[in-house]
Amino acid sequence: MRRETPVAEYLAGIEAELRLRFPPDGTWELDTLYLGGGTPSRLGAEGIARLLDIVRRRAMLAPGAEITIEANPDDVDAPTVAAWRAAGINRMSLGVQSFDPGVLKWMHRLHDPESAVAAVDAARQSGLLDISLDLIFALPSSLGRDWSRDLDRALALDPTHLSLYGLTVEHRTPLGRWRDRGDVEEAPEERYETEFLEAHDWLTAGGLDHYEVSNFGRPGRHARHNSSYWSGAAYGGIGPAAHEYDGARRRWNVAPYAEWVKRLGAAEDPVGGQEVLDSGNREAEAVYLGLRTANGLAVAADESARFARWVDAGWASFADGVLRLTPLGWLRLDALAADLTVIRSR
């Protein structure tokens, strides 16, 4: 059974943090607002409406602002979506993960494939047409998951956007312990690459742009909120574990919910840590962020010889002063970005 969601307590914490950290002068204008990093749909229709009211007391939502909610399929029905729409939500990111019942059970998800389809139908019936689906790939072979079938079912729902995430096994997590005991076999790198490239082929053939490593969108429906991260724009963050960047400094809140509530109850800033980026950090981030999107990275003509081997290997293209990674290159993003950063620092 689900633990009861402490809606009133959470909303009081959000209001307290906004009041503590942001002035009430109405000058904080938001072009995008993303309710996520957890499961905000658990707040229910009334909770989301109250949350947006709280935000509007401290900030102005720009005309045409993109307002996204992350949702589990089992939290979505027509009356709930209608209430979200009335509150201002105009985009939904739906955590489908897979259309395979066995995979969903293994992931301890509460929904089934039919619930995901019903959630998309309910959203459209209520006028919420900008719908993104999340899928996960590179799952353990023992699950017998058919990745092609999942891609086909996702495209059949005609979403405006898709986000794909490869499963990574971290130490000190339940999945990591299962792997260490031999209960789960991690997907080999070859299958990670095969499924990533298969997704690229299927989804681009289905009319979506592969505009960032993990993201595909219909023309004109690329996620504006996430795109702001990749452009290096400043952004605010409120809530447990929320991150924020003002152009020079990055800060993040404490992650444990109880600690976040405790600090705000004592009128204390819930900051968990922060760092000021020096010129080297900013250069490294500019390279990494530029290479992870289809927009690419502007480079000087005299640098082209330094990454010519990337082009020869099919990892990148270079034209009009812009270096762009191919899907094959994106599979090597971390290494290539680090390589170029080192080259530029010499």
- What residue ranges define each of the domains in the chain, with the CATH number in brackets? 7-230 (3.30.750.200), 243-276 (no CATH), 279-345 (no CATH)
Distance separating alpha carbons of residues 27 and 49, to the nearest angstrom:
22
> Quick one: what percent of the chain has pLDDT higher than 90?
73
Judged against a pLDDT cut of 60, whether residue 170 lies above it is answered with: no
Is pLDDT above 80 for 32? yes
- 137: closest CA among 220, 213, 236? 213
Rounded distance between C-alpha atoms, residue 234 and residue 168, angstroms: 28
Q: Is 220 exposed, middle or buried (0-12, 13-18, 19+ CB in 10 A)?
A: exposed
Encode pLDDT of 185-223 as tens digits.
Answer: 566 788 899 999 999 999 999 999 999 999 999 999 999
pLDDT of the residue at 1: 37
Smallest Cα–Cα separation from 96: which of 120, 69, 127? 120
Provide the H-helix boundaries in 29-112: 44-58, 78-87, 101-106
pTM above 0.75, yes or no: yes
Residue 175 pLDDT exceeds 70? no
Instruction: Say if CB 73 and CB 93 are below 8 A apart.
Output: no
C-alpha 326/C-alpha 305 separation (Å) is 18
Say how many C-beta atoms besides its own lie within 10 A of residue 190's C-beta.
Answer: 8
pLDDT in tens, 116-155: 999 999 999 999 999 999 999 999 888 999 999 999 999 9
The model's pLDDT over 44-101, given as tens digits with 9 standing for 90+, comes to: 999 999 999 999 998 889 999 999 999 999 999 999 999 999 999 999 999 999 999 9
